[in-house]
């Protein structure tokens, strides 16, 4: 009898993430390394975490996550105006490009350049995947029962 994934297990999975138009946005296979996480810990988006529950080693699953199961809806008006001089000298301000910054408490923040108005840059603070339906092809590689420390790999 194969073990099934349950909350609290640490699992390794291979996955390929695509948008509805077929664009691949992430792939553990392309990196050549499975991703490990603890199921039910909140480390991943809710829909992905829930999808692995009950899977057995070697099983594959294709899932589609609506925005509310992934990074949430696109929130209009979630913008911030920043002066150009807040960026490094010679920075190229291209609408649609993503920029990294620091939010409150030094936490990293990703924003998208929405508009350039004179010496001010309008940043869209939504997560880059907000409002998007995400598709994942998931393969369960291993399960570790954290209560016994037993690692199961087939």
Q: If DSSP codes are grouped into helix, strand and coil, which group holds residue 67?
A: helix
What pTM was estimated for this model as a whole? 0.79
Range of the domain at 103: 79-124
Q: Which two three-digit tokens encode residue 15?
A: 């996955």
Same domain, 31 and 99: no
What distances in angstroms separate CA 130 from CA 15, 46, 86, 120, 125, one per listed residue? 20, 14, 25, 24, 10
pLDDT tens digit at each of 154 positions of the chain: 468 999 999 999 999 999 999 999 999 999 999 999 999 999 999 999 999 999 999 999 999 999 999 999 999 889 999 999 999 999 999 999 999 887 778 888 889 999 999 999 999 999 989 999 999 999 999 999 765 555 555 4
Same domain, 51 and 96: no
User: What is the number of domains present in the chain?
Assistant: 2
Same domain, 15 and 56: yes
Q: What pairing do the DSSP bridges indicate for beta strands 10-19 and 108-117? A: unpaired
Asked if residue 107 is part of any domain, the answer here is yes
Angle formed at CA 101 by CA 41 and CA 18, multiple of 5 degrees: 55
């Amino acid at each position: 009898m194969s073990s099934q994934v349950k909350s609290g297990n640490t699992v390794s999975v291979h996955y390929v993430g695509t948008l509805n138009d077929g664009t691949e946005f992430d792939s553990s296979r392309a990196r050549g390394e499975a991703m490990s996480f603890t199921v039910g810990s909140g480390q991943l988006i809710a829909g992905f975490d829930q999808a692995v529950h009950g899977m057995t080693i070697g099983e594959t699953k294709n899932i589609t996550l609506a925005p509310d199961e992934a990074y949430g809806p696109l929130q209009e008006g979630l913008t911030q105006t920043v002066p150009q001089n807040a960026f490094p000298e010679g920075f190229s301000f291209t609408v649609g490009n993503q920029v990294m910054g620091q939010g409150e408490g030094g936490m990293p923040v990703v924003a998208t350049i929405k508009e350039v108005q004179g010496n001010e840059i309008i940043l869209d603070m939504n997560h880059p995947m907000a409002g998007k339906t995400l598709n994942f092809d998931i393969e369960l590689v291993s399960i570790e029962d954290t209560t016994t420390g037993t690692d199961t790999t087939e």
